[in-house]
Each structure stands twice: as structure tokens, then as C-alpha cells.
Structure 1
Amino acid sequence: MSKLAWQQPKRGFSSVYVVAALGLLVTGLPFMNASPITLADFEERRDRLANALVAEDADAFVVEPGYTFKYYGNVSQPEWEVWEPEERPFLMVVRPQEDETGTVKANTTFLCPSFEAERARLLGMPFRDSIQIVPWEEHWNPYRTLQQANVFSGLQRHPRLMVDEEMRDFIQRGLATVGFDVVGLKGKVEEVRQIKSDKEVDILRAVNTGTVEAVRQIRKCLYPGLTETDIAVALDNALRAAGLEPFFDIVLFDENASNPHGGTNGSKVLESETFVLIDVGAHLYGYSSDICRTFFPPFLEKPSRGDTLSPRMLEKLKVWDIVFEAQTQSIHQMRENSTASSVDIAAREVITDAGYGETFTHRVGHGIGIKAHESPYLNQGNLDSLLKTGMTFTSEPGIYLVDKFGVRHEDVFLVQGDGEPELLTGSRAIGPWDP
């Protein structure tokens, strides 16, 4: 049988999607109360960036289409280069400039291939006035063109350009070759995107709460014989019914979940004592959800006190609780000025003390925003990154027992000063029968 054949969901499984979608819609979608990012929001971001550049002694921030360009200019890499990453540099150059009152504002220029200049204007980027373009012809050196334009006139030094982590090496080298002082992303400039506005938090709360609710509705509809692929397809469709756009889902049963990101073919069949791990992400207004739940299917009756359980079931229940406690302890560390490493270590100690230390094989979490995985990263070696109010993170500890099963719990949190972080996923899991 071909790979495509065994990945196709079986006939009749669509009832899972229909019932789950109806269950989701019946809630009234109370979490869907966020508003999209506006022109004023983009202007405010660029102005914060300009002030951060002054604080970091940088003359400009330079970025090519990607997540960070999307954050400041609402253009992603696929929106600019639908065929493949382009070899011709199209760069957004944001500089700090004082207005007549002495207030630092952003002044933005675009380095653009001449023949693409009109297409750049047609993108409708979030600027009140016509965008400023420095065009370059195909036979010119684009980096020297930028250097010789009046963008950096008046500087008494080689312009110091801070570049985003997504900036490709050949562009960085090209800028440096013509005399620009190129430095990497850091400090206050990096924090502009890391620290979320109230509107960004609202969107993250909506998309993550909605994604968790979709998983809960899907669980109610599961029946024996479904495959991992069946559930993934149904979940994607349920998310779309709620107005969210899925961009990844990982559905793994039992031993398949002992590899955190899967790798198997999706054909494993659901049985009564199966541990189901679902890790899924969706988008709303460009912002990401990233949540994970591990649970038993609804047709497995929850045991009562005194019931005799198999050793395998007992271990599953034990591990579920350990991972949950590890997540709890990591959450307590998500406070202003805690180190990124302390969040990871808090979870890791719980799992290690329980005798499963070697089975927790990845970091405990990461920042989340317009990109599902963004800095700061919560790993035990990240001693330098300090958490700040307004940063948003996942907490996703796990235990992975090869050839047995895997357990992971993942929620999203907002750092709030010295207090406990705010949960942005509605509610945490309660138990393996109530994710």
C-alpha cells in the first residue's frame, strides 16, 4: 500500500469533525473577542523600535521579509516571494529620528529592486504616507546603493546596523563588505517584539484558548478504530469552523508519543487504554497557538477507588501526574527578573526526583507570538535571559518512555510582575480524563 493510501482518513470519520465543530460553536466562542492589529499599532511598534535603537547605540534596524518584517511591516516571506526565497535583497530599514518636539520616531526606508518597486507599493504596508524606496538596478551592488543614498547622511561614523536573526548570511556579508557595521539582534531592540502589547495578549489568549477548546471537543467524539491521521484531520477542520487556521498538528498514540514530535506514519489505531497526545497550533490575526494535551479516550471508563489496574495503566497515571506537577513548578518561576533557566530547572527537578530525569529530553518552553517558537527560550543553560512583564511563554514538560508512551502538557502564560503568570489557554488540564 502506498504512503498516500495509508494516510487517508477512513470513510465515516467525518462525524468526528462535525460533532466536534458543533460542540465548539455551541460554546458561543467566548474566547473570540480579540481585534486585529491596526495601522496605529504598527506605528507604535516602529516608534518603540526607534527608541530601542537609540538605547542600543544602533543607527538602524534592517530586516528582510519574514516574521520580524511581518511584525513591523505586515509582510511575510511567502507574501513577498511566493515562489522561493529571493536572491535579490528587499530590505526594510528603520532609523530613529527626532521630530520637531525632540521625540524619537521611526523613519522607514525600503531597499528594493527597481522592477519590483511598484509591487512593493501595492503590498499596502501599514504606513500613512507613501513608502520611501531606494531602488537598485540589476547590474548595481544593492548594498552600495543603500550606502550611497541619503539614508545615512550626516553620520560621523560607519552606519551601525542591527540585523534580525532571520537575516540571511549573504545579505549580512554584503552590507559589511561596503562598510556598514553589522551587529546582531540584542537588548532593548530584541525586547520590542518579546514584550507583548495588550492587544497582542488578547489575540494570544483567544487563539490559545480556542485551540484547547477544540482539542476538548474532539476528545468527546473519539471512538475505537480511528487513526492518528483521522483525528488530526478532524481537529484541523474543527479549528477552521471556529475561525482559526491550523498550521501544525501532532497526534500520537502510546509508543508513538515517546518521540516528542512523532515521525511515524499516522496509521496507529485508537484503542480503549490508548494514551493520546495532541500537540497543535493555529493562527489568529497572525498570532500563534501552541498547546499540548495527553489523555485517555472517552470510551475508557474512569476507574473508581479500589479498582484493580494493570501495571501499564498505573504507570500512565503516575507519569501524567508527575508531568503536571513539573509544569506547575515551572509556572511558579515565571516572574519578573527570573532567569529563563530557572523555569526549566524547576520542572526538571520534579521529573528527576521522580526517577525520570533522562526521559525529559527537551527544554521546558519558549516565547510565543507571531512565531510559535521565539526568544527567549526556556532551557537550563539560558542563564542570561531575564523574564520581563509582558513576555509570553509556553510551559511544556514531558516524559518519554521509548516503546511505551509519552506524556506532555503544554499551556501558554503571560509574565505579570512578581505575581503568578496569567494563563492564556483558558484552563489547564485537570486529569487524563479531563484535558
Structure 2
Amino acid sequence: MAANMDEKASAQISLELSSTGSYRVKRCLLAAIVFASTCFLLTSRYTYNTHFNSSPHTISSFQKCSINNFLSTGLPFLDNAAPLPISEFVQRRQNLATALVADGLDAFVVEPGYTFQYYANISQKDWEVWEPEERPFLMVVHPVVGHDGEVKAKTRFLCPSFEVERARLLGMPFDDELEFVSWEEHWNPYETLRENWNGDKSGIVKDPKVMVDDEMRDFIQRGSGENGFEVVGLGGEVERVKQTKTKREIEILRAVNTGTVEAVREMRKCMYPGLTEDEVMEVLDNTLRAAGLEPFFDIVLFDENASNPHGGTDGSKVLEAETFVLIDVGAHLYGYSSDICRTFFPPFNPKPTTPVEFATLSSLVKEKLSVWDLVLDAQTASMVAMHANATAASIDIAARNIISDAGYGDAFTHRVGHGIGIKAHESPYMNKGNTETLLRQGMTFTSEPGVYLVDKFGVRHEDVLLVGEGDELPKVLSGTRAVGPWDP
């Protein structure tokens, strides 16, 4: 329509000028008409974001804009989150002891890592900042059953003798004095533990049955098995202890995930043409840090780079108006993880507001919009299916059916979600083969369906959800879900 208007105007001017015989005037007026028409169309088609037009396009101003936007929200998502008290860790070990009895186990054995952090607030880096070393430092939680049937947790630490005092200085969350089984460098640590299984050298216990988690290194499992322990992998009621979140855990998860989403939204408002994926990543990381959230992964992908869900390109692709931006990012707060994803257009690509404006969009942009809506519908279907006593498989299948029915089944290349807590990826895992795991009230999951079209673009929406009671729909712990590609 605009092109026809230009042609008619040009023809009319040409007719008028031909009667004067002035070729130079004709050319000038023609150029002026075309220029004026083009400017009119560009300025009247959409209304640009005022803040974007007034912002200087430098990395430093981009970062300042992003951080100021984020802080100006007042960070209300932090209001109900707080570090966990000692009593929370004491109760966790009590819950573990009860689960050990239910599973017929003599102890749970872990080395520093995410599970150790859950029960005693010590990560692998807290213990060995240099590298995981060969000397085992183990936490051993025993269930002690009283005459009245009450179960209590008894915790001891197998520790190299010269490291005992350093272990005491870690400030682990215990009400009572820490108890150690120490071993000298020339001793067999596993034999030492077995000899002291009852707290003294009253005799070697026959084949204690101990459970370990998936972070336990192979040489420790083998060493234990070769010295009389029956070692079994994580499962049963013991595994479920960490899967079910308390009110305090939920508030931290809500804070860190909502905050991460809000950081992405506020950063987006400041984006401008020419930014690279790496530059966006760096500014987003610093924006998160400004609110006390510590990023631990950040995937920023533009258009065809996002067709590989976890990236792999060099971060140099440049942002343009019709670029689809996919950001998958996680941060920590009080030891708990966020893991969210948004896909969107940059702010300098104005949103069409009328059917005429929509009709002028390219076929590629229209496909982006269609796939964006499809993936959101798939996420909605997963949420409807996510309730207590549903199988983990059913959540994946609900989302996958939506995408498959639309003809994009082969482009949904990963599971729909996973558990989340201290660790960003923890069990249970929601894939269509996990038909045995039943969801329980208080479990927290991501829902992150996606469609990935090689050499074109990728779309993923990811939020963190809390399983409710009965058939209740899950609660969103990442604030509010995405509304559209201009409102992620």
C-alpha cells in the first residue's frame, strides 16, 4: 500500500514537472517525496520506546541502565527470604534418620557436595577450595532407635587426623559437639570407620548397609565395599527427604527465581542494536550481583544459535531488531538455585498493534510468533498435569503432545523439566520414561518445553513451580510467567 502511494505521488510529480522541462528540479522533488514518505512510514508505523531513544549506546550505559532499572523495583522478592537457622538442618538430619529406618539402612554416607550442603551446609569448595583430593572426609548419619521407638539422628565425621581442627572451624550447623572418627595417613580410613562403627572399638560390625548419593566418588565407594560395607545407591525414602521442600526453602526459591526473571526483564529494556551475546551475558550477570544474587550460569543465544538448547557458539553474534533472544540463566541465594528461561524480541523492535501492521511482518517473524505461543501452550499443559500423585512422565507427555500435534515434535529435543533446590538440576527428572516417580506436595520443578529449528531460531520458556495439595495447580515460584515476546 505504501509502495503504491509512493508510485502514484512520483507519477503525479513527474507529469507536472514534464511540462516545465526542468529535469534537475524534477529529480530533486522526486527524491524529496520518496525521503519524506519513507520517514513518515518509519515514524508512524510503530511508537518506539522513549527510554531506548534517549539512552546512549555504550556497554557502560547499558549496564548502568540495567542495574538502575533492577534496583528501582525495590527488590520486593527478597522480603521473605532469609538464611536457614540451625534448627532447619537439625530437622533435616532427623528426617533422614527416620527415612533410613524406613529403608532398612544402617547409615547415610556423603562427602562434601550438594547433599552434604543440604544436611550440614558445607559444599565441596567450602572443604577443598583447591581441588577434590584423595583423602576421604565423610559425614556419616546413623539412625538411633530408642526403647520407645523414637528415632534420632547420630552424626559423625570420618576425617584425616590433621584436618580435624579445620573441620571444627567450618561452623557446621549442629547443636551438639561434633564427633569425629580420625585416621592417620598410614591407616586404612574405611577399616578405621568400620572398627569405630559403634562409637568405640567394641568390635567390627558385620556388613553395615550404607547408602551413598550420586556425588560419591568411585574410589570411596570401592574402598568401602572392599572393607566390609554393603554400599547401595540413592533411592527410596532417603532420596525423597531432599526432594520435599520446607516453607523456608520455598521462600528462598521464590526469591531467587523471581529475582532472576525480574533482572532479565529490566535488562531487556536497555538493550540496543549491535550488542553481542557475550555483552548481554556480562551485563545480566552484573545486574544480578547488584541485588545480592550470584550467577553461576548464563546462556545468551540469538536466533539460529538458540537452535542448540545449551549453545556452544562463540558469543559474538550481534543483536538486530528482529532477533529472537533466548536467555537461560541461574543464580544462587542462601545456597539455593534459580533456573529460568525467557525468549523475546529486543525493545527496539516495536510490537505490531493492528492487523495491517501484523500483515507487514516477514514470514520468519510470523513463524517466531507462532512457535513462541505454541511453546507457552505446552508449558501451560505441563502445569495443568503437575499435581500430587501424577507421574513425572505425565508432565513431560502433556507438554510434548501439544508440540507434536502442531508438527514440531522432532524439534522438542529434551525433557520438560527437573527438580530444583540447592542444586539446579536434582531429582526427580520429568521425562516420558519416568513412569515410576510420583509427585508429592512440596516438590519443586522447572517446566521448560522448547522448540529448536536448526539454522533458524529456538524458543524455550522456563519457570519454577511448586506442587500443591491434591489436584491443586502448582504455584509459580518465578514471579509471573511470560505474556508474549514483547513482554517476557
Distance 1:162 1:102 in 2: 22
Q: Compute the displacement of 1:20 (Å).
A: 1.4
With over 3 angstroms needed to count, the CA separation of the structure-2 counterparts of 1:364 and 1:51, relative to structure 1, is: same
Q: Compute the displacement of 1:423 (Å).
A: 0.4
Distance 2:229 2:337 in 1: 35
Q: Compute the displacement of 1:91 (Å).
A: 0.4
Distance 1:358 1:74 in 2: 42
Counterpart amino acid of residue 25 in structure 1: L
Matches within 5 A, 1:359-370: 359-370=411-422
Q: Does 1:352 align with 2:404?
A: yes
The Cα offsets for residues 390-420 of structure 1, whole Å up to 9 and x where unpaired, read as 1000000000000000000000000002200
The Cα offsets for residues 57-87 of structure 1, whole Å up to 9 and x where unpaired, read as 0010000000000000111111111111111
Q: Give ranges in structure 1 of 5+ residues lacking alignment.
A: 1-10
Distance 2:450 2:467 in 1: 22
Q: Does 1:35 align with 2:35?
A: no
Q: Does 1:13 align with 2:59?
A: yes
The equivalent residue for 2:324 is 275
Conserved in 1, the CA contact under 8 Å of 2:209 and 2:232? Answer: yes
State the TM-score, normalized to the length of structure 2: 0.85
Q: Compute the displacement of 1:242 (Å).
A: 1.1
Three-state SS of the structure 2 residue aligned to 1:332 is helix
Q: Compute the displacement of 1:333 (Å).
A: 1.2
Aligned with 2:230 (options 181, 190, 196): 181
Distance 1:71 1:298 in 2: 41
Bigger relative contact order, structure 1 or 2 (CA pairs below 8 A, ≥6 apart): 1
Q: Compute the displacement of 1:99 (Å).
A: 5.0
Conserved in 1, the CA contact under 8 Å of 2:194 and 2:204? Answer: no
Aligned with 1:323 (options 375, 398, 402): 375
The Cα offsets for residues 83-115 of structure 1, whole Å up to 9 and x where unpaired, read as 111111110000011357642111000000111
The equivalent residue for 1:6 is none
Matches within 5 A, 1:2-401: 12-33=58-79, 34-98=81-145, 102-151=149-198, 157-304=206-353, 305-307=355-357, 308-401=360-453
Counterpart amino acid of residue 419 in structure 1: E
The equivalent residue for 2:483 is 430
The Cα offsets for residues 5-55 of structure 1, whole Å up to 9 and x where unpaired, read as xxxxxx921212211111111111110020111110000000000000000
Aligned with 2:459 (options 407, 414, 418): 407
Counterpart amino acid of residue 250 in structure 1: I
Distance 2:157 2:67 in 1: 44
Three-state SS of the structure 2 residue aligned to 1:31 is helix
Q: Compute the displacement of 1:151 (Å).
A: 2.9
With over 3 angstroms needed to count, the CA separation of the structure-2 counterparts of 1:177 and 1:85, relative to structure 1, is: same
Distance 1:165 1:109 in 2: 20
Which one has the largest radius of gyration? Answer: 2
Aligned-residue CA RMSD in angstroms?
A: 1.5
Conserved in 1, the CA contact under 8 Å of 2:299 and 2:311? Answer: yes
With over 3 angstroms needed to count, the CA separation of the structure-2 counterparts of 1:100 and 1:241, relative to structure 1, is: farther
Q: Give ranges in structure 2 of 5+ residues lacking alignment.
A: 1-56
Segments of 4+ moved more than 6 angstroms: 152-156
The equivalent residue for 1:5 is none
Counterpart amino acid of residue 431 in structure 1: G
Counterpart amino acid of residue 286 in structure 2: N
With over 3 angstroms needed to count, the CA separation of the structure-2 counterparts of 1:353 and 1:144, relative to structure 1, is: same
The Cα offsets for residues 342-383 of structure 1, whole Å up to 9 and x where unpaired, read as 000111101100000001000000000000000000111111
Q: Compute the displacement of 1:165 (Å).
A: 1.3
The Cα offsets for residues 320-353 of structure 1, whole Å up to 9 and x where unpaired, read as 0110000000111110011111000111101100
Q: Compute the displacement of 1:288 (Å).
A: 0.2
With over 3 angstroms needed to count, the CA separation of the structure-2 counterparts of 1:332 and 1:43, relative to structure 1, is: same
More helix by share: 2
How many residues in Structure 1 have an aligned counterpart in Structure 2? 426
Three-state SS of the structure 1 residue aligned to 2:122 is coil
Identity, % of aligned positions:
68
State the TM-score, normalized to the length of structure 1: 0.96
Distance 1:156 1:172 in 2: 18
Distance 1:127 1:187 in 2: 26
Counterpart amino acid of residue 306 in structure 1: V
With over 3 angstroms needed to count, the CA separation of the structure-2 counterparts of 1:172 and 1:210, relative to structure 1, is: same
The equivalent residue for 1:7 is none
